[in-house]
Amino acid sequence: MKPRLQATLGQQLVMTPQLRQAIRLLQLSSIELDAELSEAVESNPLLEWDEGGDVIATPDVANTDGDRDGAESEIDASPVETWSDAELDSWTDGGGGHGSDGDSGSLAEQVADRETLHDHLLWQLHLSSQSPRDRQIGAAIIDAISDDGYLREPLDTIAAAIEPPVPVEDVLTVLHVVQHFDPIGVGARSVSEALCVQLAALDADTPGRAIAMRIADGFLERLPRLGVDGIAQELGEAVDDVSCAVALLLSMDPRPGAQLGEVAPESYVTPDVVIWRQHGAWRVALAEHNRPRLRINRSYEALITRTSSSDAAYLRGQLQEARWLLRNVEARGETLLRVARCLVQRQTAFIEAGDEALRPLTLREVAAELGLHESTVSRAIARKYARTPRGTVPLRAFFASSVGNGTAEETSSAAVQAMIRQLISAENPRKPLSDARLAESLQSAGVPVARRTVAKYREAMSIPSSQDRVRIS
């Protein structure tokens, strides 16, 4: 067979470097975008930070009056507002506008100044009259205490980790000392032990103390099922005395270290868009850090015409990359703003009333309305957050699958879960609602769901079954 050349015509989609960069920037979070821009400034001499005036975010007014289908958002012609990071920190969740909550310093500074549970316990340990060896053991114990105040590590593990290793009995002795630090009961290995330590610290003549210690020591898990009458029969005590002991137990703290142990998460959520209501219309604007804060370095740009050909070629390449980056960052902000504006138009009731008013909405519907691909919408909302009057919520919270009911008005799965939470929160703790009863209540409200669906949503929200929710009053 003779070799030969043959020309064919065809179409092929080629992803250019500019397109790849645009896709990568679109799916980055705010923190990742800042890191990307910082790296670009360090590697590209044609880029520099714009230290001049603040870049202003152009707000849009989402038209929420009348028919939403086919409605286009108004563009506010009033002077634009700048949503800087300082204004975002001072904007209260419930206010929906500019303002200050009266606290000085940023949230990060307030959290940084907060004393942690471990710091509080170590401070007491150093002030105690323990020997250096016992202080070493105490430090190891405190290091193993979780943020809610409980000791999760076994005592033998703690004893073996100390250099040189110590007997488990010595660790237990020091643990009893730590458990009487403030907050009392910290370092307990179970709820029962935490309550017993707190009860033992009370005066011996405290009403109900002795019976409460018996309940905490052996009947705590059975208390919700048996109730006061059942526990009184088990202990052979009067119902009134057991009721007094149970009231004393309820006044104890089952998580002794939670108040000091609950610190801020490791990473802070930075809103990408701001949604607020002004003069009856919902407005949407990009946060300041989502606008381009870079510019072309004019000094290096001027060198292109005055340098050698090799240097000029390098500078021209860097200039082209800088322009691509600025253009793609600008396109990222425009796409994010368009998607956020569409979400506000579709889910106005969700912003005003919460999860119960969330309507079914899919990526395909938003993509079709904006003329985008579903993957583009998915990348635009990935790890993006919106600051609303109801708090900072992820953009994915605006989407929800539907629970078909055979009518034109379908209910979203998130709305059904919110209804289930509301019904359970209002139930009688002595007679919790079963999944079947919850399904009947939802059907009465016009949401025909099966008992299995209710059970699935309840388990997804980590809500125990009706039998495990039985509580005494």
Instruction: Tell whether 83 is covered by a domain.
Output: yes
DSSP letter assigned to residue 128:
S
The answer as to whether 470 is a domain residue is: no
Counting as low any pLDDT under 70, the low residues of the chain are 1, 11-15, 52-115, 259-268, 289-292, 401-412, 472-473
Domain containing 395: what range?
Answer: 15-102+267-399
| Residue-level pLDDT at 404 | 55
**78 in the same domain as 31:** yes
pLDDT in tens, 202-259: 988 889 999 999 999 888 888 877 888 888 898 999 999 999 999 898 888 888 887 6
Whether 66 is covered by a domain: the verdict is yes
Torsion of CA 204, 208, 211, 212, to 10 degrees: -90
**126 and 231 within one domain:** yes
Q: In this structure, is residue 44 part of a structural domain?
A: yes
pLDDT in tens, 66-98: 333 333 333 333 333 445 555 555 443 334 443
| Residue 368 sits in the same domain as residue 453 | no
DSSP state for residue 355 in the 8-state scheme: G
Q: In this structure, are 387 and 304 located in the same domain?
A: yes
Say what the pLDDT of residue 177 is.
Answer: 92
Q: How far apart are CA 329 and CA 313, in angstroms?
A: 24
User: 3-state class of 398 per DSSP?
Assistant: helix
Instruction: Give the pLDDT confidence of 21-80 residue by residue, as tens digits.
Output: 888 889 888 888 888 888 999 999 988 888 754 443 334 444 444 333 333 333 333 333
Torsion from C-alpha of 330, 332, 335, 340, nearest 10 degrees: -110
- The domain boundary residue, chosen from 262, 281, 315: 262
Assess whether 274 and 377 both reside in one domain.
yes
Task: Mark whether 293 and 248 lie in a shared domain.
Answer: no
Indicate if 210 and 314 belong to the same structural domain.
no
141 shares its domain with 74: no
Distance CA 268, CA 336 (A): 20
Task: Give the number of other CB atoms < 10 A from CB of residue 256.
Answer: 26
Residue corresponding to tokens 């303002």: 99
Same domain, 275 and 381: yes
The structural domain count of the chain equals: 3
State which of 399, 423, 439 marks the end of a domain: 399
Determine, yes or no, domain membership for 98.
yes
What is the DSSP code string of 199-232? HHTS-TTSTTHHHHHHHHHHTTTTHHHHHHHHHH
Domain boundary among 208, 238, 262: 262
Q: Are residues 135 and 218 in the same domain?
A: yes
How far apart are the C-alpha atoms of 236 and 243, rounded to whole Å? 13
371 falls within a domain: yes
Domain identity same for 291 and 378: yes
CA–CA separation, 89 and 96 (whole Å): 13
Q: How far lies 194's CA from each of 185, 252, 381, in Å?
A: 5, 9, 44
- Residue 469 domain-assigned (yes or no): no
Q: 465 in a domain, yes or no?
A: no
Is there a single domain that holds both residue 333 and residue 367?
yes
Exposure on the CB side of residue 106, measured as CA atoms within 13 A: 9
**What is the model's pLDDT at position 53?**
47
Give the model's pLDDT for residue 114.
54
